[in-house]
Structure 1
Amino acid sequence: MTSRGVEHPNKKGAYSLMILLLSAAVGLSACGGGTAVPKKQDTPEQGAKAESAVKSETKLLQPEELPKAMVEGRTDVIYSQFSSDFKAQVSQKDFKDMVAEFVNGASAFHEESNFLLNDLDHRIWIDPASRKGILALFDGQAAIVGLQILELGKPHASDEQYTNTTFRLPFKGDWFVFWGGNNVLFNYHYEHEIQRYAYDFIQVQDGRSYQGDEKKNESYFAFGKEVLAPADGVVVTVVNDIPDNVPVGVMNEQNPAGNQVIIEHNGEYSILAHLKQGSATVKEGDTVKRGEVIGQLGNSGNSSEPHLHFQVSDGKDLFQSRAIAVKWEQGLNPQRGEIIQGGE
């Protein structure tokens, strides 16, 4: 699955490859793959024989073997494990060329993140110099259904410029950090200054974010959970009338943040977005205390499934302000793939 925030920018670069295949619901879709593509033959019968031979002789790469295969130039083996939908979006030649340029100067990659979610294996690797990174998603049959390779760029100076306010997690119980961290592989928001230090939080049980019909908001563990004020402040913006997306997977790009509450904390503004329609319990001008309920989590706006988008900015207009790195209570540093615990 993907958990999108208020914006889902396209990745760009000399050899950036990003194909995350979305189904009508929210899952990353794998529709086959796992075998090599045969070379062109004179007849269909010859082609079938060749494909059968490849299937019997080719050993599937395990997820942990992907970076080494890239460095060694075994792009034919990697491409053979692309799902059929994935292959339809990128040619084998283009993939080979992109990988050759990408691995130039990189001899190895170290795994930085690894988790299972909704039947998909999510992996991130970064080279020792922290200049290049790989994000890959595998289904249960080791088919590659999502892949991103790109330059990470230099860290921003603002990474070490934290909020003056100390914030508490805006929820109770255990939550999963789907996007969070200071590079674009851990946090797709990071590329854009207006939401560089944003987070997307979901709830997960037994490796899944939902139980039952994936098209229904009520199937998601996060939907309807209480959202709390992360610090004392004054409410400056409340949006409460935007319908939650139905079915799950249909997104409202006209109102990217969806229902939201924005709170001022002495010139810093916490933004809590994608709330449930009609759930806001505060109004503009209200003074709130840390831990006070301000609404319920929903699936409104540019959201692919129920999740909470949280960030702190230097202004109340999300799209005209600059995101600030959050100073959390107890030195917390939420990173993609982690389970974090809110207050009781």
Structure 2
Amino acid sequence: MKAYLTIFLSLFLAVILSGCGKAEKDPVENETAISPDQFTDRFLAGDFEALYNQTSDDFQDMVTLESFIELGEGFNADVEGFELVSEMPIDHVTEYQWISERGDKGIRSYFLEDHTIEGMQLMPLSVFPESDEKYTENIYQMPINEEWYTFWGGTNELVNYHYAHENQRYAYDLLIVEAGNSFDGDSEDNESYFAFGKEVLAPLEGVVVSTENSIPDNTPLVETNAEEPLGNHVIIEHKNNEYSVIAHLQENSLQVSEGDSVAAGDVVGLAGNSGNSSEPHIHFHVADGEDWENATSIRINFKNGEEPVRGETTTGF
């Protein structure tokens, strides 16, 4: 999953402080290192030089101490505390994410096992409390029948990059992870990915109103198809004017057509890597209209009452 570190650091329009290569300096002395559970307290206390000295050579090549102090002091303004919202291993690092008490600022940091800090982001966050409080009238299940991993999901941009966009705000991106990796073998072969070819299910009974089945799957980590962002997909109309959007399915894998009635748990297709996707996974959200690009995403009311966030596993049927 090393590629994620590079790919997803590039997606945010924020103050990005990143150094993603292996640390070249001597390992941080464990007895003096600032641990992840101490990080935000020390950051708020202004211990910027100590934190900076714990960063990798790559980080320090990109950001000077003076710049780091200036950015940190500005970012700390009006912040009383941070709360840890996500912890996730990615290849050789562990990603930690904290959000401010008002929900308007976030920190993402990447730690090596010896506590060397390889990357950091200081992010202003969008806040949408009104839509956060509105859930779907229908009760859904995740469109899966195995344990999957939540790569993006939640109600802030730290854990869910979709959140800034009204038409996908409460979307989930799901993949399968084993031993910290989403694939085994050639990273540029879709067949190497644990999610590829897995069954994707209807999350609730309804009528299929839109499908696409003929878009080729992308080469993982090499190409995406931004011109056809959903790729192969199924959109299902449910009661109460709610629509499930399930995207990035495998080419020619759909088992339903427009006009079909489906029951909850029916197989609609197989997980793929089509559309605006860098590796095999499922995109799932619920909207208030069939025209997903101009519709509004609705926070999903799940049958089991769970709301998985980035780094957590989830199940459906």
Q: TM-score, normalised by structure 1?
A: 0.80
- How many Å apart are 1:132 and its aligned residue? 2.6
Query: Structure 2 residue aligned with 1:18, among 10, 16, 19?
Result: 16
Please name the residue that 2:294 is paired with. 320
Please name the residue that 1:250 is paired with. 223
| Alpha-carbon distance change, 295 to 89 in structure 1, aligned in 2, over 3 angstroms | farther
Please name the residue that 1:340 is paired with. 314
Matches within 5 A, 1:265-284: 265-266=238-239, 267-284=241-258
Query: Structure 1 residue aligned with 2:278, among 296, 299, 304?
Result: 304
Q: How many aligned residue pairs are there?
A: 313
Whether the 8 Å contact between 2:110 and 2:120 is mirrored in structure 1 is yes
How many percent of aligned residue pairs carry the same amino acid? 40
Please name the residue that 1:50 is paired with. none
| Alpha-carbon distance change, 57 to 297 in structure 1, aligned in 2, over 3 angstroms | closer
Q: Which amino acid in 2 is paired with 1:285?
A: G
Aligned partners of 2:57 and 2:191: how far apart in 1?
Answer: 31
| Alpha-carbon distance change, 333 to 75 in structure 1, aligned in 2, over 3 angstroms | same
Matches within 5 A, 1:39-58: none
Q: Does 1:293 align with 2:267?
A: yes
| Alpha-carbon distance change, 19 to 302 in structure 1, aligned in 2, over 3 angstroms | farther
- How many Å apart are 1:227 and its aligned residue? 0.3
| Alpha-carbon distance change, 155 to 176 in structure 1, aligned in 2, over 3 angstroms | same
Aligned partners of 1:162 and 1:233: how far apart in 2?
Answer: 18
Whether the 8 Å contact between 1:173 and 1:342 is mirrored in structure 2 is yes
Aligned partners of 1:257 and 1:10: how far apart in 2?
Answer: 18
Aligned partners of 2:214 and 2:310: how far apart in 1?
Answer: 30
Moved more, 178-187 or 100-109: 100-109
- How many Å apart are 1:317 and its aligned residue? 2.1
| Alpha-carbon distance change, 20 to 275 in structure 1, aligned in 2, over 3 angstroms | farther
Whether the 8 Å contact between 1:280 and 1:294 is mirrored in structure 2 is yes
- How many Å apart are 1:82 and its aligned residue? 4.2
Q: TM-score, normalised by structure 2?
A: 0.87
| Alpha-carbon distance change, 87 to 119 in structure 1, aligned in 2, over 3 angstroms | same
Aligned partners of 1:213 and 1:316: how far apart in 2?
Answer: 37
SS at match of 2:39: helix
Aligned partners of 2:139 and 2:4: how far apart in 1?
Answer: 26
Whether the 8 Å contact between 1:163 and 1:327 is mirrored in structure 2 is yes
Structure 1: unaligned runs, 5 residues or longer: 22-28, 37-54
SS at match of 2:307: coil
Please name the residue that 2:188 is paired with. 215
Q: Does 1:132 align with 2:130?
A: no
Moved more, 70-79 or 157-166: 70-79
| Alpha-carbon distance change, 128 to 158 in structure 1, aligned in 2, over 3 angstroms | closer
Matches within 5 A, 1:136-151: 136-140=109-113, 142-151=115-124
Whether the 8 Å contact between 2:127 and 2:156 is mirrored in structure 1 is no
Matches within 5 A, 1:97-246: 97-140=70-113, 142-246=115-219
- How many Å apart are 1:170 and its aligned residue? 0.3
Q: Which amino acid in 2 is paired with 1:183?
A: N
Aligned partners of 1:176 and 1:56: how far apart in 2?
Answer: 33
Matches within 5 A, 1:24-43: 29-34=20-25
Moved more, 312-321 or 56-65: 56-65
- How many Å apart are 1:246 and its aligned residue? 1.1
Structure 1 residues 151-170: Cα deviation after superposition (integer angstroms, max 9, x where no partner): 33544201121112211110
Structure 2: unaligned runs, 5 residues or longer: none
| Alpha-carbon distance change, 10 to 117 in structure 1, aligned in 2, over 3 angstroms | closer
- How many Å apart are 1:331 and its aligned residue? 1.6
| Alpha-carbon distance change, 8 to 78 in structure 1, aligned in 2, over 3 angstroms | closer
Larger radius of gyration: 1
- How many Å apart are 1:171 and its aligned residue? 0.5
Which structure 1 residue ranges, 4+ long, deviate > 6 Å from structure 2?
A: 55-58
